[in-house]
Structure formats: structure tokens, C-alpha cells
Structure 1
């Protein structure tokens, strides 16, 4: 179904079964598959392929030569029914690829709202991305990663499969991240290391000074306190009243298939 207010270029191909919402734009030579659903005001620029069981939220814009909703780059994938769900107001730039999920990973790849996905980045199968995430040029998120809200991932970085990146963290450019990253962590280096807290990001988001100080204390405790890393985290949970520190403790004590980048 194509809403009467949608503008479809004559050279675009919208296959039967696709749902195109009000005020959508589909540009020249773009292809929209039969199971695609575009919410209100989505703009598909020229030479874009959107296929598979894919939903795109209101106000999102996809730039030329992006490939959205293709099958996973996973040899275990057997053609099972899986999905890609993209939230509202995302900016998906040139040559970005986002794949559907796999049965083994829950069957869905999910992207939140208000993200910026710069040219050439890749969002693999079963990845879950939060809100207000920025993924810079030529960065790849491997399968099953979880990226929480307000994360920035620098250009030409690689995120290993099953890695979790906590909310508010920042990953420097040219980093290879193979272990989980604490919320609000600052990660740098070719073999990524946890180098501190994302203090600039915390201040820009208006986090109270008391919470920032609590996070500083928590980071030092995790770095040089007594006991194992997990024991230190649990002790923080008992001692700190800051919701930011509690979020960090919950992240550390939560289920994960990877170990952590720990303070050096």
C-alpha cells in the first residue's frame, strides 16, 4: 500500500506488498522490497536498496547506495524468517549496510531512534543499537553486539561479535574492541584499552557534578580496589547511591559472553 501523499520517482521500483506511509519520498533508481514498511516522512534517496522484512521509523533518511535489510553475512543462516527494525529520525549515510537477524540470535536486528550512521559503516545480524548512537565512517559492528544509548564509535573501528558497549561510552578511532566496555567509558588504541571516563560526553549531556564525581570514584575503585573486578563492582553497588554508578554495576554484573576492558 502506498499512501497518496508519498512521492515515488518514476525510475524507482516499489514491489507489491510494500507499505509506504504518508509524506515518504523514494528517489531515483531505488528499490523497495515487498515486505518493507516505511513510516511517515521517511526519505529514501537515489540508488538505495531496502529489502527483507524491514521497518523504518518516521522521519528517517537513507542516503545513496545504502543496502538495508539484506540477509546476514553468516554461513549458518538458512533462509529463516528474520527482521530488521530501524527507529525514528535516523540518518543512514552512503554505502551503509544493515542486515536482518538470524534464528540463533533472536531473529531481529534492532536500531533505536535519532542515530547517525556515517558512510560505509556496517550493522551486522542480531545487533541491538540504542538511541542517539553515532557510528562513524567505515566502522563495523559484528553479529550480536549490543550498543546502548548515547554511544559514539570512532571511524575505522571494529567491534567484535557479542561485545556490549555501555551507555554513554566513546570509542576512539581505529580501535579494535574485543571486550565489553563500561558505561561512560573512554576507549582508545588499536588493541582497545579503557583509558578513563567520557567526561566530555557526561558534561555535554548535563549530568550533575555529583554524579560525575561518583563515577570518578567508582572508576578508581574498579581500577585499584581490593578483590576481583567483579567483587569491586558488587561492593560499589552496596556503597553508592548514584544512579549512574548503579547502572555501571548492573552492566558489569549482567550476563555477557565476553570479558571486560578493565581500567589500567
Structure 2
């Protein structure tokens, strides 16, 4: 029994570390590098969220004054994060109505209050890894009406609101597949590149002789402005940390309380065990 429990714990631990492929076999998720306890990062993330995300997305399960928990004063919230006449005790909602959003965009942009929890894999990577990777894998795509696409969420129904911060990128798709030609099957490797302006072109398409593998596909995104990339990665890590905190503001307290509860139960178990021995010691 102990071996089975240890084996299960090791499996869970292995799922949680490093980069893993999302459920269903999609683009691998990068690990979000900033913890939800970094208040400076959370404050920067809150600023980015209000300025870039809340044009379309609400966070209606949170009130502005909840941001005092990440080290902001109410005056700082009013001066830096409230621009539409809302009060500091109001919910973080937006003026756009869901009915209008559905009419204009085809579907209402989701509320982001719990997105970090909603995107978490079962016993796998946390949803913050999904958000961090999603925000950093937008690329221009002239074949789409919106002009944008995403590696984590292909054909996502939103443009890239942070494109100026991200800078130009190129994406290379490598696809290994089997084709039938003249009655015989061949394995091909096709490499397609999407340039910074969103135009696709096939770079190479070659036959893989004596290939013994299986069909596969992967994509690689390259930032062309390395200086912008460093700052963009940091900002997206901060924004991701804020969304992770927003999904459960009391998560660190919950974890701390859980440790104390387990410690109490351990001590209580010892006391009860000794009491049990004392109670039954005269019973043969």
C-alpha cells in the first residue's frame, strides 16, 4: 500500500514540473516563472490587466479594493487603476454588455476572474502555465479575418492586444506526415514559415527515406526584437501571476492553514494514541 501511495505521489510530481504538452496534444506550456506571492509583480500585473485586458474582459468576482491585498493603497487604486468613474468598492466589471459583445464578436469575451483555475489540467500543470504561454504565442496570420492566430489556442477569436509590447515574431511549423503517391506511401517533412507580416510560405517539403517514426507536428516561435522580448516576457509573467492570484486571492493562506491543520492532527493523533493505550492497558 505504501509503495502504491509513493508511486502515485511521484507521478503527480512528475506531471507538475517542466514543460508539458497540453491535454489533447497541443503546443507545450511553459512554466510561469513568477510566484503569486511577489507583490511587485502582482502590482505590475494588475496595471497591465486593467489597461489591456479590461477593454473586453471583466473580472467581476473581484472588487477594486481587493487589490489592497497585493500592497496597493486605495488612493493608488483610484489614481492608477480607475478610469471610468467607478468607485474603489465596485466590482471589476466592464461597460460592454454580454448581449452586445455576442452581437459584435459572435461570442461574449469570457470573464477572467477564475480563468487560471479553469485552465488547470487535472493533476497536471497549473492554469497559470497555460496563460503565460498563450499570451506569448500570438503571431500575425493574414489568412484570418482578425489578422492574428495563436499556437496554444489555434484560431482564437481574439486579436493580440499586446502586439506593440511583443514586437515582430516569426513562426516555423514542422509537420511530419504520410502521403500516398503512385500507390505507395511515403513520409514527408513539410516546413512552413509565417513571417512577421503574417504571410505563409512552404520552406521545404522533403521525403523521409526509411522513416520509422510516426506523424507529428510542432511549432517554434521566434521573437525578432530581443530587447522587447526580455521586457515582454517579464510583463507577461507579472500579468500571469496577477491572474493566478485573482483566481484565488487566499490561496497562500489556504496552503499555510493546511500545514498547520496537518501538524495539529499529527499531534492530536499522538495524544489520542497514548490515551487509547492508557484506557485499555488493564484489559487483557
Q: Which has the higher contact order (CA 8 A, sep 6+)?
A: 2
**Could you tell me the TM-score, scaled by structure 1's length?**
0.25
Structure-2-length-normalised TM-score: 0.24
- Normalized per residue, which structure has more strand? 1
Larger helix percent: 2
Greater C-alpha radius of gyration: 2
